[in-house]
Chain A
Amino acid sequence: MKLGKFPPWLALLMPAIVLLAAVVLVPLVLSFYSSFTSYKLTKPDTLYNWIGTFNYQKAAGDIYFWTAFGRTVLLLTVALNLEMVLGLGLALMVSKVTRGQRLLRTMMMFPMMFSPILVGFQFKFIFNDNVGLVNNTLQSLGLTTTAIPWLVDAHLAMFSIISAEIWTSTSVFAILILAGLYAMPQDPLEAAKVDGCTPLQSFRFVTLPFLMPFIYIAMAIRSLDVARAYDIVQIMTNGGPARRTELLWTLIGRTGYVDAKMGYANAMGYISILLAIFFTVYFFRKLTAARAELGMAL
């Protein structure tokens, strides 16, 4: 096969690079440009109306934007950490089971098949104050007589959203950590036991360091997809009521499509893109570092 003057690896990567440049890079350049204009969907001419950094200044002074920004970072921090801890716990519990492990593993993957939009709908139903599973259970057990407004109260709504987010994504962590537990050599654990380590110590100093690369793989995968939470929030509360659960993504969507202020939405979108890229690069670097460490240990 003749591949011209290109080195073969470049020729092989070309389709991917061209496609991603066309569908991701070019739009991003356009959105970067339009974030400096007063572009409104309803008035196409405004695309050429250069207004400098006005949109960014507006975002910087917009209290709604900063609340949404802070809430997004908070949601991601809380959700990712809880998912990691719960996933670790789940994986450890499943790995200790002697019979029926295959079945448990399959059940564990159950939430991964659900479309995030479906998860949003499902938890909207479950936390519904009138016919939802949670309130029905609480009322039938006599724990409360009132209908708890899970999706209306600001704190409860955030709690409901985080529950939904954790429900879908814990299994990603659990599955990958479980894979790590299977791959782990048994000798160091036995050596630690012989040396008189308590189970807690051998977990802390032997098991956990070995699992770290796996945790970072899970984090890296999750960071590619953190914005999936948008789907969940969109259908559960759509940022409401009264912006109490507004995230960066719902705010961008509403500004761009409902208010038709594309320029401003793109300016905010760019900030969210940089946030996502930061997360991704951070975890991929951690992954590379952990991998190097493990490579030396093995």
Chain B
Amino acid sequence: MASNQSHRMRRRGLKIAHFIGLFLAMSVICIPGLWIVLNSFRPTVEIMAKPPVWIPNDLNLDHYRAMFGAVGEGGVPVLTYFRNSLIISVTSTVIAILIGMAGGYAFARYRFKGKAAIFIALMVTRAVPGVALSLPLFIIYARVGLIDTHIGMIVTYVAMNVPFTIWLIDGFFRQVPRELAEAAEIDGCTRWQAFWRVEFPVARSGIASAGIFAFLTSWNEYALASQLTRSVTSKTMPVGLLDFTSEFTLNWGGMCALAVLMIIPALVLTFLVQKHLIAGLTFGGVKG
């Protein structure tokens, strides 16, 4: 009896500890983001208030108005940055997916000598730190006139995204049974037709999530963009974020507003792909 009761007590204790632990972890995960969102609606006076104002009593859209009107402090051309980011990210994603599909298909469907070595060699190119790569790229781009252009950034981001895209797409093609394509070939399709009619439709959603992942990488990249873009003609939003800082002051509210603008597309897209992303990574990794 007694042992039974202590057992039950312990189980309840564990349950409570589990709940508290989970609650704390989720708070730590969510609060920083929510705080940014909250501050983007608060006037600067309230953000800077000492003692702090905990319960916001004046929420407004001033920072957003200043941001889009480009009339606020410093007049940061946010819309131009947004357009640059969009052009660069979308174009580089489309190209990276095409190249990644070819590469991923090669790894998933063909056996060849040195496959593992080639795979790692491709991956290693992704590991080169952005800053270290930006130095020689800066020198080359300056010579050929690609500094501060959309093309320069697009080429850079395609190269940055291709290794990881290949990894993901390889994983998705592996999930498509080889027999499917073989059956189509027996029925008289060429390999090219078999790919587009059978394998591509099955792996399509997976490829789409690889695309979203590539998009997010370009959308969020800073180390290379901060050196290879110079002016409003090609600056992307992560670089534009720094426009809100000056030598001694920081426009926290304005920065928060731009942050929210940057997060919204990322948020929506990540929710769309979360399931596929995990599947792609684990299949590519475990069942290789």
Q: Spell out A's residues near B (CB within 8 Å).
A: 1, 7-10, 12-13, 15-17, 19-20, 22-28, 30-31, 34, 89-90, 93-94, 96-97, 104-118, 121-123, 125-126, 130-131, 133, 136, 139-140, 167, 171, 175-176, 178-180, 183, 213-214, 216-217, 220-221, 223-228, 230-231, 234-235, 249-250, 252-253, 256-257, 262, 265-266, 269-270, 272-273, 276-277, 279-281, 284, 287-288, 291, 294
B102 closest partner in A (C-beta) = A12
Asked whether any CB of chain A lies closer than 8 Å to the CB of B127, the reply is: yes
Q: Which of B33, B120, B139, B274 contacts A262 (CB 8 A)?
A: B139
Asked whether, in the complex, the Cβ of A8 is within 8 Å of the Cβ of B110, the reply is: yes
Contacts of A225 in B (CB 8 A): 126-127
Contact partner of B223 (CB less than 8 A), chosen from A125, A130, A231, is: A231
CA A122 to CA B49, docked complex, whole Å: 18
CB distance from B139 to the nearest CB of A (A): 7
The docked-state distance in angstroms from the alpha carbon of A284 to that of B175 is 21
Are A117 and B132 in contact, CB atoms less than 8 angstroms apart? no
With CB as the reference atom, state the residue of chain B lying closest to A7: B112
Question: Nearest residue in B to A94 (C-beta to C-beta)?
Answer: B22
Taking a contact as CB atoms under 8 Å apart, the answer to whether B278 and A273 are in contact is no
Partner of B286, one of A16, A213, A224, A265: A213
Contact residues, B180-224 vs A (CB, 8 A):
190-192, 216, 219-223
How big is chain B's contact interface, by range?
35 or more
- Interchain CB contact under 8 A, A131 and B35: no
A128 vs B112: C-alpha distance in the bound complex, in angstroms? 55
Are A121 and B123 closer than 8 Å at their CB atoms? no
The answer for the CA separation of A12 and B107 in the assembled complex, in Å, is 9
Contact of B274 with A224 in the complex, beta carbons under 8 Å: no
Q: Mark B95-139, 1 if CB is under 8 A from A, else 0.
A: 000111011011000101000101010111111111111111111
From B100, B123, B130, B227, contact of A280 by CB (8 A): B123
Known A-B contacts A15-B99, A23-B155, A131-B52; the reply to A269 vs B131 at CB < 8 A is yes
- Residues of chain B within 8 A (CB-CB) of A7 are 110, 112
Shortest distance in angstroms between A195's beta carbon and chain B's nearest beta carbon? Answer: 21
- With contacts A94-B22, A114-B266, A125-B36 taken as known, whether A272 is within 8 angstroms of B129 at the C-beta atoms is yes
* B133 lies within 8 A of A13 (CB): no
Known: A110-B30, A266-B136. A19 touches B158 (CB 8 A): yes
Residue of B nearest to A136 (CB): B52
Q: Are A276 and B50 in contact (CB under 8 A)?
A: no
Assess whether A19 is in contact with B99, with CB atoms less than 8 Å apart: yes
Looking at the complex, which of B59-67, B68-76, B162-170 is the stretch in contact with chain A?
B162-170
If A7-B112, A111-B29, A231-B222 touch, whether A133 touches B35 (CB-CB below 8 Å) is yes
**In the bound complex, CA of A183 to CA of B286 (Å):** 11
Q: A24-B125, A30-B139 are in contact. Are A121 and B47 (CB under 8 A)?
A: no
Query: How far does the alpha carbon of A116 sit from the alpha carbon of B262 in the complex, in Å?
Result: 12
In contact, A1 and B106 (Cβ under 8 angstroms) = no
Flag if B255 contacts A113 (CB, 8 Å): no
Shortest beta-carbon contacts, A-B, top 7: A227-B129, A115-B220, A269-B132, A23-B159, A27-B136, A9-B110, A31-B136
The minimal Cβ–Cβ distance linking B40 to chain A, given in whole angstroms, is 11
Given B103, B221, B263, which contacts A16 in the complex, CB threshold below 8 Å? B103
Kindly list chain B residues whose C-beta atoms are within 8 Å of the C-beta of A281: 120, 124
Decide if B267 is an interface residue (CB 8 Å cutoff).
yes
